[in-house]
Amino acid sequence: MREIDVKIITEIVADLCITANKVLPDDLSGYIKDAAEREKSPAAKSALCDIYDNLSDAKRLDIPICQDTGMAVVFLDIGQDVHFVGGDLYSAVNAGVARGYKKGLLRKSVVFDPLERKNTNDNTPAVIHTTIIPGDGVKVTVSPKGFGSENMSKIYMLSPADGEQGVVDAVMDTVKKAGSKPCPPIVVGVGIGGDFESCALLSKRALVRQNSSNADERYAKLEALLLKEINKLGIGAQGFGGKTTALKVNIETAPTHIAGLPVAVNIGCHVTRHAAAEI
């Protein structure tokens, strides 16, 4: 059994909140740069170049890459041989979020009650997802989720008879209706299977998968097909048209019931931020 003091979790979460909000992962910034170089439409090319320059300037000036510094989503992949000491794990995570948002001068956007709308003033509580895995390590992933893109996300409870075409139609319908609202070029996370709530979690997990296709050839091909079809829509960077509406489509799947085909589509904006660390 390996003991880990929760103070370490607080420190790591604080650092990851700042890093994720100020530096976009290399794969996504690379996609944006490539898209700008390929673009022929003057308006779209200008928008993509401005987006890329914003990423560079934010890194150079040590400031957030977007004014909406998001609601902190924290994934904890915890080895079953880990024993946390020194306090409550979730309290430690929230202490890290509060510290990171204060130290990083990041906007606090969380309200305590969904109807009363009173700000908590430290961007807590975080949305925390815990998974138990083999071993004695811990992986912490922080994904600050802005709500311009989150508000465009959808869940579909399809019939098994809808099949793969039903999945394609659901994703395309979501992206078409979103239009320019989620600040494209977007990243599209798709969860297929499970049940109502777990397919939504799959889609959010999909957004933080870096620079790889689905390990299953069928779903890798579906990712490529969806990316191609989305980029035919002509919505383009910030809605100015052109070749690139989406940078990436990531699919995650899970077993499901014989009577259902749940599909969740989680939209990420061009700054689909995330940062991770392992202990």
The DSSP output letter for 216 is S
What are the extents of the domains in the chain?
2-22+65-145, 148-277
Q: What is the pLDDT of residue 113?
A: 97
Q: What is the pLDDT of residue 79?
A: 98
Rg, Å, the chain Cα set? 19
Q: Given a cut of 90, is residue 210 above it in pLDDT?
A: no
Q: In b/e form, how buried is each residue of 220-242, taking b as 16+ CB within 10 angstroms?
A: eebbeebbebbbeeebbbbbbbb
Q: Given a cut of 90, is residue 212 above it in pLDDT?
A: no
Q: Can you give the pTM of this predicted structure? A: 0.95
79 burial via Cβ count (<10 Å: 0-12, 13-18, 19+): middle
Can you tell me the mean pLDDT for 107-135? 98
Q: Given a cut of 90, is residue 211 above it in pLDDT?
A: no
Please, what is the average pLDDT of the chain? 97
Q: Given a cut of 90, is residue 250 above it in pLDDT?
A: yes
pLDDT, one tens digit per residue, over 16-64 is 999 999 999 999 999 999 999 999 999 999 999 999 999 999 989 999 9
